[in-house]
């Protein structure tokens, strides 16, 4: 007997980096068999640095306590919610309510689904950036909403075109996703941008959700959507320890907003898990207590990596912004890399494109199979990314330099 999956799964695919791993494994095995250097994966943004030592020490200590291993409060420990509030006061200049206005999460990615489940009804329209994080669209499809893309384009600094937004049919629009510093483009937030977004959301009765995990990376000062006037009426904000504290595997995040809005998310979350491990929560408190010197050291390293990634793009003729923020460098490919590809080509095509791969993917595949260096093709993030590629900064400078040397050797041949 073959069971049919739920209809909602037809609107989503396996995550690109999960699918792509099979191809990367094959390239890695082939290079090993030929005695070549190992695969250099400059794809996904998984920080490779160590978390704050105080967090690691606290995790070990609290894990030894007998009362650490029982179910925890669904709302998270009060001390963790207060730590998130203090973190926002200290660095964002924003006051959060730790008694109902903050909900700890298993990473901010969980929050994307929880918010969608809590607020999006079948048929509701959700505004999603293009290019943007693919999970925004996937969750809309899973809950039966309708994705309506809004353009982010290089000529507009990868910021929303508010004239275009105002011309859309917004009668069924329920929610809007925004993400700055932007992934994948590295465009930075400004107070002016956040105010325009909040004004737009209020004018059209839209829930505005700011996904803000990159706010400390290669920025002069982190900014919260709640710094904008009127934001408490219409906004939620996701944040995380994954990027700013090198704790992606710990899965510690949060959503903040008006307590009534956050409580709707708790209704859903409390059906799905039974609270975060106590030792993890107490360790997160230590991580959130880090002073400015932590972020200064973190960004000094990322600046070195951004420069090294830029040298790879320079060798390939890719145009990029050397002052971009976040964990990635994003660039526009040179010339024309348009090519027809058969259905069984190694490249992973758009579902609707059975005979064509995007220009960025042509370049990505050529470099991968010729040099063993993987850079992400921009089509993964939407049609506006088809002529772009992305390098993750989650690799040390020597690894980036090794990748550059391989690419230069290949180009010379």
Handedness of CA 151, 116, 16, 244 (dihedral sign): positive
Cβ(350)–Cβ(405) under 8 Å? no
Which residue pairs, CB below 8 angstroms and at least 24 apart, start in 316-325? Answer: 316/363, 316/367, 316/407, 316/411, 318/389, 321/186, 324/181, 324/185, 324/186, 324/187, 324/188, 324/218, 325/181, 325/186, 325/187, 325/188, 325/214, 325/217, 325/218, 325/219
- pLDDT confidence bin for 341, thresholds 50/70/90: very low
Higher pLDDT, 153 or 355: 153
Q: DSSP assignment of 337-355, as one string?
A: --EE--TT-SS---TT-SS
> Which domains are assigned to the chain?
12-42+294-412 (3.90.1150.10), 53-290 (3.40.640.10)
Q: How many CB atoms lie within 10 A of CB 192?
A: 10
pLDDT in tens, 28-83: 999 999 999 999 999 988 999 999 999 999 999 999 999 999 999 999 999 999 99
Give the model's pLDDT for residue 353.
41
Largest CA distance in the chain: 63
- Give percent of the chain above pLDDT 90: 85
- Beta strand extents in 61-214 (DSSP E only): 102-105, 125-130, 146-151, 173-178, 207-211
| Region 329-336 average pLDDT | 88
Taking alpha carbons only, the member of 337, 254, 335 closest to residue 81 is 254
């Amino acid at each position: 007997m073959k069971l049919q999956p739920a209809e909602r799964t037809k609107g989503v695919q396996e995550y690109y980096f999960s699918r792509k791993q099979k191809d990367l494994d094959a390239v890695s095995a082939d290079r090993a068999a030929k005695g070549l250097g190992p695969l250099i994966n400059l794809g996904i943004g998984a920080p490779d640095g160590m978390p704050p030592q105080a967090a690691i020490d606290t995790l070990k200590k609290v894990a030894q306590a007998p009362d650490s291993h029982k179910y925890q409060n669904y709302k998270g420990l009060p001390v963790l919610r207060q730590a998130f509030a203090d973190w926002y006061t200290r660095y964002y200049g924003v006051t959060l309510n730790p008694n109902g206005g903050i909900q700890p999460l298993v990473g901010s990615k969980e929050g994307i689904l929880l918010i969608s489940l809590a607020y999006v009804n079948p048929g509701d329209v959700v505004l999603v950036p293009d290019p943007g994080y693919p999970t925004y669209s996937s969750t809309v499809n899973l809950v039966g909403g309708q994705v309506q893309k809004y353009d982010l384009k290089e000529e507009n600094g990868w910021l929303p075109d508010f004239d275009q937004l105002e011309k859309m049919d917004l009668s069924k629009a329920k929610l809007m996703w925004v993400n700055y510093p932007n992934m994948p483009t590295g465009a930075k937030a400004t107070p002016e941008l956040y105010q325009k977004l909040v004004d737009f959301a209020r004018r059209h009765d839209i829930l505005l959700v700011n996904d803000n995990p990159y706010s400390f990376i290669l920025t002069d000062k982190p900014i919260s959507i709640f710094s904008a006037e009127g934001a408490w009426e219409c906004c939620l904000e996701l944040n995380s320890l994954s990027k700013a504290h090198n704790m992606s595997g710990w899965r510690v995040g949060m959503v903040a907003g008006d307590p009534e809005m956050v409580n709707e998310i708790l209704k859903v979350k409390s059906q799905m898990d039974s609270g975060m491990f106590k030792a993890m929560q107490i360790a997160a408190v230590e991580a959130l207590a880090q002073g400015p010197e932590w972020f200064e050291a973190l960004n000094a390293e990322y600046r070195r990596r951004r420069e090294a990634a830029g040298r790879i793009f320079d060798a390939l003729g890719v145009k990029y912004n050397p002052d971009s923020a976040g964990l990635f460098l994003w660039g526009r490919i040179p010339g024309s890399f348009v090519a027809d590809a058969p259905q069984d080509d190694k490249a992973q095509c758009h579902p609707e494109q059975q005979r064509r791969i995007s220009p960025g993917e042509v370049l990505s595949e050529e470099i991968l199979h010729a040099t063993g260096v993987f850079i992400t093709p921009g089509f993964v993030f939407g049609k506006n990314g088809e002529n772009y590629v992305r390098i993750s900064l989650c690799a040390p400078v020597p690894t980036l330099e090794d990748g550059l040397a391989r690419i230069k050797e290949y180009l010379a041949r």
